[in-house]
Amino acid sequence: MTVRKQKSAARWQDADELRWAVQNWVTRIGIKSVQVYVRPMKRKWASMSSSGRMTLDASLLKLPKELGEYVIVHELVHRLAPNHGKVFKSFMLAYLPDWEEREARLQKKVHALGN
């Protein structure tokens, strides 16, 4: 097991890097490709349509990368588990072992992750 020291949190360079991260996770999780849009959203960090269209709040670009990564994985795992039940949690744990900590950190930010 690797122990990583937390340095000053890295930020996303731009929306392209965020979109690239989504595609990486799509490959890693092994789901159908998604289209990614980055734009300002008022009440959610992200949303995912049933047709595979993911919209990410542009304000994620101002937050540490690991929080944006949490939002991405959260939305993609919804392709495997539509609600926040046991299946969802076990996938989250498999992909991001510290997801609950990231979620707690994100919830302290401006708005809550809707779905």
23 or 115: CB nearest Zn ion: 115
13 or 110: CB nearest Zn ion: 110
Minimum distance of Zn ion from residue 114's CB (angstroms): 7
Minimum distance of Zn ion from residue 7's CB (angstroms): 29
Helix count and strand count (H, E) for the chain: 4, 3
How many Å apart are CA 110 and CA 113, to the nearest integer? 10
Q: Which residue is nearest to Zn ion (CB)?
A: 115
How many Å apart are CA 29 and CA 21, to the nearest integer? 12
11 or 66: CB nearest Zn ion: 66
Minimum distance of Zn ion from residue 38's CB (angstroms): 19
33 or 115: CB nearest Zn ion: 115
Residue 96, burial from CB neighbour count under 10 angstroms (0-12, 13-18, 19+): buried
Residues 76 to 115: which contact Zn ion by CB under 5 A? 115
Contact between residue 34 and residue 76 where contact means Cβ atoms under 8 Å apart: yes
How many Å apart are CA 52 and CA 93, to the nearest integer? 23
The site that binds Zn ion (CB under 5 A) totals a number of residues, namely 1
Q: Contact residues for Zn ion (CB under 5 A)?
A: 115
